[in-house]
């Protein structure tokens, strides 16, 4: 069983930056594909970014490409999401997820088996 705990959310103004963290309960980054998703009120959970630690491959949603960076610290079992140039459209609860590695990085929630409880990011105009 893998437990994931997100932190780092908050209320910021448009144009600001935030770094989200996701601490894993045990060695996870090297054994799983890791990802960030987000969900705004009344909307479906949306893929943000994913990373395959073994190959260093990353993949981003078009809406965040060039603004967000996914990374991890294997020694600390911690996944990060560096977010820059935030806009009100980025307002959502952000979730980290871990999934068994496959040949491709998954972009749907069903590709991931373990989830954190989420951290709220609110971007004011």
Mean pLDDT over all residues of the chain? 94
C-alpha distances out from residue 90 to 53, 71, 124, Å: 25, 19, 10
- Rg of the Cα atoms in the chain: 13
How far from 115 is each of 16, 26, 40, CA to CA, in Å?
26, 14, 16
Per-residue model confidence as pLDDT tens digits over 58-83 = 999 999 999 999 999 988 999 999 99
The pLDDT, as a whole number, for residue 50 is: 97
Q: What is the DSSP letter of 112?
A: -
Report the distance separating Cα 28 and Cα 44, nearest Å: 26
Neighbours of 28 (CB within 10 A): 23
In the predicted model, residues of the chain with pLDDT beneath 70 are none
């Amino acid at each position: 069983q893998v437990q994931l705990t997100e932190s780092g959310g908050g209320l910021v103004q448009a144009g600001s930056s935030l770094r989200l963290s996701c601490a894993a309960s045990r060695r996870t980054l090297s054994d799983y594909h890791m990802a960030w998703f987000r969900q705004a009120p009344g909307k479906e959970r949306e893929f943000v970014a994913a990373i395959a630690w073994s190959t260093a491959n990353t993949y981003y949603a078009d809406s965040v490409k060039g603004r967000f960076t996914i990374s991890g610290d294997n020694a600390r079992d911690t996944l990060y999401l560096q977010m820059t140039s935030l806009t009100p459209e980025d307002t959502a609860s952000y979730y980290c997820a871990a999934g068994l590695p496959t040949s491709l990085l998954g972009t749907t929630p069903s590709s991931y088996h373990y989830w954190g409880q989420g951290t709220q990011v609110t971007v004011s105009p």
